[in-house]
A and B are shown apart, each in its own frame.
Chain A
């Protein structure tokens, strides 16, 4: 199945340094940090559920977690009403270093 993917904003508030560290590392594997406690990830439904499961393993009830899915329209509009560097465009599919 060609799985459709979307941009997600993932926001968290974590009450304990140790758990925060683990969650921060995990999220780093899925996407870029946009601001403090906000990541953006390009996920399919499958990877979203996987990430959510892995995060739930780390977090406890006192922490906060919010996934926000952005529609294509949302993402298109971002550059219009934001600073220039607020949302970097998607990669080219390859990098040369």
Chain B
């Protein structure tokens, strides 16, 4: 190839409001425009209302123009054009306060200035008239600021458009802004996780939490077969056989979990998709069946995941971290159980010692196969030590000798299996909410039973969310040997009442909050699952080092 062909690309024009975001923070612009994560914060709605009110008050002619200028590469809605002394002046109304300079004089904020200049230029270019100034009115302190529009202003806008176009084709997120005060007011902070990124680059940094402490929305488990979930108005309607329907405001629902054969209407499914409610299906036997996947667009994040996870070295490093995290968690759990026992069996002591030796080898593992072998050994040791944690007065029907799956062969294994399927549901929910691809993991190989990435991430939470409550509830004698289980030949399943009891225990455990060792702030397990998915994504965004650090205290 000697001649370079430059294809004439038809680039899309940029919204003026996107330039506003760019002037605020280039990473915000990237998240909104490239990764398509657009959230409207309170100011957006309040601003809209302000515009509506102004229209009612002023009674003047408002021109509502949608303008686009191909040569500039800009588009936007200009909704406040005034003509004063033959000059056309765009107005921008802001609900908040103006910026005050050192002499306490009102000034426009940088991002607002960028926005009004862009409007001026857009009007000039699209309507072919000359604009000399734009005006911004800040309603909170009632000041009107004149922003002159001259060649310097034109250059500013051109520069901004150029930068925006460069960012739009860039494959990676821009770094976090230097000015951390911007992040506290930013609506995308829980997605961008700026504080965690700063911590990844600077171990001395003490992050303040911008990530919500707890998930506010409820998880609705529909356990009774024959229950129907429908929609009425803005509510989910849950109708049980022979009872009056229960209505739940959709804003309070985060996940809907349908166990065995409860029904959901198509209307309700569409509604849940629109309101970002996760819908999951779990079979009557307690096996995770699947989820309703409503991720639209935002392919950028998954492309990043494909790139990172097709690199064997990256996968090995992550898998090591994972196996170490799980192994240490298991060992710590055994050690913690040892504390409560009056006489520690020699077997438990040996297991704890042997696990320590194996964990040392994890660091040196050169391939995934070696790791798999090590992990298998760790797991079998752990499950041979686990029966030692069961209190002496527990009847033999609730004890167990070894892990049996598909089908579980005793009550203890039935509890573990049901717990793990609830857990994989929650992890899958978090992966879908973040927008990653559950089918591409870094440790588990694709098989038919469950999405590999969900299986990978689940390893971190097995001990603190499932093993712990199973051992705890057995020792507290919370299980009815006959009523809570169904024994069919060699197979043991949880009965209806047993499942209800377990879901209660599990959800209760998820509400407990604790301090994340890597970031140093506390949050609930419910939120932690999502945070861990986001931290995993950070591993390949160049802000890594925080993933897979949690352990049982």
Known: A1-B189, A30-B234, A56-B52. A94 touches B249 (CB 8 A): no
Provide the bound-state CA to CA distance between A38 and B248, in Å: 17
Within 8 A of A (CB), among B221-249: 221-224, 227, 233-235, 238, 240, 246-249
Which residue on chain B has the smallest CB distance to residue A2?
A: B212
Across-interface contacts of A44 in B (CB, < 8 A): 42
Within 8 A of B (CB), among A1-55: 1-3, 5, 24-32, 41-42, 44-50, 52-53
Which residue on chain B has the smallest CB distance to residue A95?
A: B220
Contact with A along B240-260 (1 / 0, CB 8 A): 100000111111100000000
Known: A28-B249, A31-B249, A93-B218. A2 touches B234 (CB 8 A): no
Interface assignment of A74: CB less than 8 Å from any CB of chain B: no
Contact partner of B209 among A2, A25, A47, CB < 8 A? A2
* Contact between chains at A97 and B49 (CB < 8 Å): no
Known: A1-B186, A1-B210. A94 touches B48 (CB 8 A): no
* Contact between chains at A30 and B249 (CB < 8 Å): yes
Instruction: Tell me if B's interface is mostly helix, strand, loop or mixed.
Output: mixed
> Interface size for chain B: under 10, 10 to 19, 20 to 34, or 35 or more residues?
35 or more
Q: Pick the interface stretch among B322-330, B381-389, B450-458, B500-508.
A: B500-508
Interface assignment of A77: CB less than 8 Å from any CB of chain B: no
* Contact between chains at A96 and B235 (CB < 8 Å): no
Q: Could you tell me the distance in whole angstroms from the C-beta of B432 to the nearest C-beta in chain A?
A: 19
* Contact between chains at B187 and A1 (CB < 8 Å): yes
Across-interface contacts of A48 in B (CB, < 8 A): 42
Q: Could you tell me the distance in whole angstroms from the C-beta of B261 to the nearest C-beta in chain A?
A: 14
Across-interface contacts of A30 in B (CB, < 8 A): 234, 249, 251
Provide the bound-state CA to CA distance between A92 and B219, in Å: 10
Q: Chain A interface (Cβ within 8 Å of chain B)?
A: 1-3, 5, 24-32, 41-42, 44-50, 52-53, 56, 61, 91-97
| Closest 10 pairs between A and B when the two form their complex, measured CB to CB | A29-B234, A25-B233, A94-B507, A49-B45, A49-B42, A53-B45, A46-B42, A2-B212, A94-B219, A45-B42
